[in-house]
Amino acid sequence: MESKPKKRSPPSAHRTVREMSLSASISQHAKKHPVFAAEMIDVCLSEAIQKRASDVHLQPRRDGWEVYYRLDGVLQLASTFPHDEKTNPVARLMSLAKLPSYMGGIPQEGSFQWNDDRNQSHELRLGIFPTLYGNRAAIRIMGEAGSVFKTHELGIDEKTESRLKRVCESRDGWLLVAGPAGSGKTTTLYACLQHIALGHENRSVLTIEDPIESVIESISQSQLQPNSGLTLASAMRSAVRQDAEVLLVSEIRDAETAETVLSASMTGHLCFSSIHSGSLGSTLRRLVQMKLPTYAIQTGLRGIVCQRLLRATCKQCDGKSQTEHRCDACHGTGYQGRIPVVQLTEFDGSDFSCRVFDRLECGATADEIDGLVHESGRPSLRDLAMELVTAGITDAAEVFRVLGSNG
Ligand SMILES: [Zn+2]
């Protein structure tokens, strides 16, 4: 093994000046313990937002707390601080989200608005999970409203973008965006809907999301309410009766939803969804496992986008931050920002698509179907990612981190 896991520095090395001064003054505030927790949370959230983190994790360990920020998709240890029986930052978060503290030992979810020091409001989603040393907290920092990208802002090449727009201009069919969690699927889907919403023609667009992540003006977005008894599939069936021309169901998780969306896509609706799968082949196999007939998939499916996000090499230090002096632009990671790598396969009745569905019908494995992509001379996700390495946008280590050694 060449790369050993990095040793953690002793907790004190990570503590911010603010934390330490706070610890020193803790005894004076012993009776007013929420002061410390509140300031602690303020410091963490301000710093996380300033660093453009997407998530903050507070994890209780035997000796104290570890605070992590997710920066460009990768979790980084931000600071540690000792336990203090008088103060509990997770309890403070729970009170902000109005979660009942008497319900110990069970996972809870909530959300709250938080104002930073520039008085900007942020929506934060909180998840609480009981662990051996107490509740841990995961905080998702939601994107600002209006931060929906247009297709040309996604960072994909022009040719793929114009093919994607062509799919968005179709009258019917189903576009599936595939990738693991955190691969930018929702961003791509929102850009597609934004393209439709900004088009010359008025098209009735309705979304069923769980949850709504960003707001697009001039379309109807709806969020499944917990305990409403409404499933994605039943909401979808009602949506079809709303005379919607374009429908988005945020994620295909079960056979019933898949079947409902597929049948809508075959009856004059343009449908969009994401699916948690790794490649073209594995996406098609999942649809077959959901008992969708191959001929129906072939009729309804207009295309599959397979995508990942790669961290871009920091332009300030050229990725050398870890070896030379610490770079402020990338906080010493060597990367700043992310770019998508996108493989769009259209099913348009070409010889290639017929071959794919013939093989699928014969029970071909996901790998065999991905092999057809290679045979046809179309680039794989790895080929596309390596083009970004050649262009100096990212590096081979990042491609390996995201795509592994094969695929
Ligand atoms: Zn840098």
> Confidence band (pLDDT; 50, 70, 90) for 224?
confident
* Predicted confidence (pLDDT) at residue 308 exceeds the cutoff of 60: yes
Is 308 found in the same domain as 226? yes
Cα separation, 194 vs 183, in Å, equals 19
Which of 112, 141, 170 finishes a domain? 141
Q: What is the pLDDT of residue 306?
A: 98
Mean pLDDT across the stretch 292-297?
96
* Predicted confidence (pLDDT) at residue 25 exceeds the cutoff of 50: no
Which of 141, 159, 175 finishes a domain? 141
Q: What is the pLDDT of residue 273?
A: 97
Look up tokens 């009766």; give the residue: 241
Q: How far is the CA of 313 from the centre of ligand 1 (A)?
A: 8
Is 164 found in the same domain as 276? yes
Please tell me which of 66-80, 106-120, 165-179, 208-222 the model is most confident about, judged by mean pLDDT.
165-179
Cα separation, 244 vs 225, in Å, equals 21
Is 344 found in the same domain as 301? yes
Q: How far is the CA of 55 from the centre of ligand 1 (A)?
A: 21
Is 391 found in the same domain as 255? yes
* Predicted confidence (pLDDT) at residue 32 exceeds the cutoff of 60: no
Q: What is the pLDDT of residue 35?
A: 52
> Confidence band (pLDDT; 50, 70, 90) for 124?
very high
> Confidence band (pLDDT; 50, 70, 90) for 217?
confident
Backbone angles phi, psi at 76, to 5 degrees: -125, 135
Is 156 found in the same domain as 58? no
Q: What is the pLDDT of residue 144?
A: 64
311 forms bridges with which residues in the sheet?
Answer: 338
Q: Which residue has the higher pLDDT, 291 or 31?
A: 291
Domain annotation covers residue 109:
yes
Q: How far is the CA of 97 from the centre of ligand 1 (A)?
A: 35
Q: What is the pLDDT of residue 324?
A: 62
Mean pLDDT across the stretch 279-308?
97
Q: What is the pLDDT of residue 405?
A: 77
Mean pLDDT across the stretch 387-394?
96
Q: How far is the CA of 334 from the centre of ligand 1 (A)?
A: 5
Give the burial class of 105: count Cβ atoms within 10 A of its Cβ; 0-12 exposed, 13-18 middle, 19 or more buried: exposed
Q: How far is the CA of 254 from the centre of ligand 1 (A)?
A: 42
Q: How far is the CA of 322 from the centre of ligand 1 (A)?
A: 9
Instruction: Give the domain extent around 130.
Output: 11-141
* Predicted confidence (pLDDT) at residue 385 exceeds the cutoff of 80: yes
Q: How far is the CA of 319 from the centre of ligand 1 (A)?
A: 6
Rg (CA), the chain: 24
pTM score: 0.81
Is 395 found in the same domain as 270? yes
Q: What is the pLDDT of residue 29?
A: 38
* Predicted confidence (pLDDT) at residue 300 exceeds the cutoff of 90: yes
* Predicted confidence (pLDDT) at residue 18 exceeds the cutoff of 70: no
Q: How far is the CA of 186 from the centre of ligand 1 (A)?
A: 28
Mean pLDDT across the stretch 115-139?
91
Is 263 found in the same domain as 122? no
* Predicted confidence (pLDDT) at residue 11 exceeds the cutoff of 50: no
Q: Strand, helix or coil at 246?
A: strand
Q: In what side-by-side order are the strands of the sheet with 270-275?
A: 220-223, 205-209, 246-251, 270-275, 173-178, 301-313, 335-346
* Predicted confidence (pLDDT) at residue 6 exceeds the cutoff of 50: no
Q: What is the pLDDT of residue 241?
A: 87
Mean pLDDT across the stretch 212-224?
85
Which of 141, 165, 198 finishes a domain? 141
Is 132 found in the same domain as 166? no
Q: How far is the CA of 174 from the centre of ligand 1 (A)?
A: 41
Q: What is the pLDDT of residue 191?
A: 95
Q: How far is the CA of 395 from the centre of ligand 1 (A)?
A: 14
Span 329-380, pLDDT tens digits = 888 889 999 999 999 999 988 999 999 999 999 999 999 999 999 999 999 9
Mean pLDDT across the stretch 262-287?
96
Q: What is the pLDDT of residue 322?
A: 62
Percent above pLDDT 70 for the chain: 88
Q: How far is the CA of 316 from the centre of ligand 1 (A)?
A: 5
* CATH code (residue 277): 3.40.50.300
* CATH code (residue 122): 3.30.450.90
Give how many domains the chain has, as a whole number: 2
Is 273 found in the same domain as 165? yes
Cα separation, 395 vs 393, in Å, equals 7
Is 89 found in the same domain as 175? no
The conformation of residue 87, written as its DSSP 8-state character, comes to B
Cα separation, 362 vs 121, in Å, equals 54
> Confidence band (pLDDT; 50, 70, 90) for 145?
low
Q: What is the pLDDT of residue 16?
A: 40
Q: Which of 24-33, 189-198, 391-400 has the lowest mean pLDDT?
A: 24-33
* Predicted confidence (pLDDT) at residue 231 exceeds the cutoff of 90: no
What is the end-to-end Cα distance of the chain in Å, rounded?
Answer: 22
Is 202 found in the same domain as 92? no
Is 198 found in the same domain as 80? no
* Predicted confidence (pLDDT) at residue 301 exceeds the cutoff of 80: yes
Domain annotation covers residue 395:
yes
Pairing of β 270-275 and β 173-178:
parallel
Q: How far is the CA of 356 from the centre of ligand 1 (A)?
A: 43
Q: How far is the CA of 392 from the centre of ligand 1 (A)?
A: 14
Q: How far is the CA of 336 from the centre of ligand 1 (A)?
A: 7
Q: Which of 26-35, 81-90, 158-167 has the lowest mean pLDDT?
A: 26-35
